[in-house]
């Protein structure tokens, strides 16, 4: 089994991404944190449970759900039929 690298590559095009540009600074930061968590969790686009994310980021589950719902509205996050959250276009980002 391959070890998780200690980093992910963030494309500089993100600076010009309209969707990312619409986010307030706190949501933008949480989005980057969610990218990191998705990578650490599964090296894919799946995220762990809301409670795990909240614990990892030392915040409330409500905070995480608010961010994920915002990201869902603009197409950066989505939920599958098992109610698992995913980062859209993870491999591209």
71-80 pLDDT, tens digit per residue, is: 999 999 999 9
Distance of CA 50 to the CA centre of its chain: 11
Task: Please give the residue that has the higher pLDDT: either 33 or 14.
Answer: 33
pLDDT digits (tens, 9 = 90+) for 23-74: 999 999 999 999 888 888 875 678 999 999 999 999 999 999 999 999 999 9
Burial label for 36, CB within 10 Å (0-12, 13-18, 19+), is middle
Whether 93 is in a domain gets the answer no
Across the strands, what pairs with 79? 85
Number of domains observed in the structure of the chain:
1
Whether 71 is in a domain gets the answer yes
Strands (E), 1-93: 77-79, 85-87
Whether 26 is in a domain gets the answer yes
Whether 1 is in a domain gets the answer no
Whether 13 is in a domain gets the answer no
Whether 92 is in a domain gets the answer no
Three-state DSSP state, 87: strand
CATH of the domain at 33: 1.10.10.10
pTM comes to 0.81
Domain containing 48 equals 18-87
Q: Is the pLDDT of residue 5 over 70?
A: no
- Which pLDDT does position 21 carry in this prediction? 86
């Amino acid at each position: 089994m391959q070890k998780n690298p200690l980093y992910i590559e963030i494309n500089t095009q993100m600076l010009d991404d309209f969707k990312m540009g619409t986010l307030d600074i706190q949501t933008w930061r949480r989005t980057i944190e969610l990218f990191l968590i998705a990578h650490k969790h599964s090296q894919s686009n799946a995220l762990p449970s809301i409670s795990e994310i909240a614990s990892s980021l030392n915040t409330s589950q409500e905070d995480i759900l608010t961010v994920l719902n915002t990201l869902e509205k603009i197409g950066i996050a989505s939920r599958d039929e098992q109610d698992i959250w995913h980062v859209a276009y993870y491999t591209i980002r």
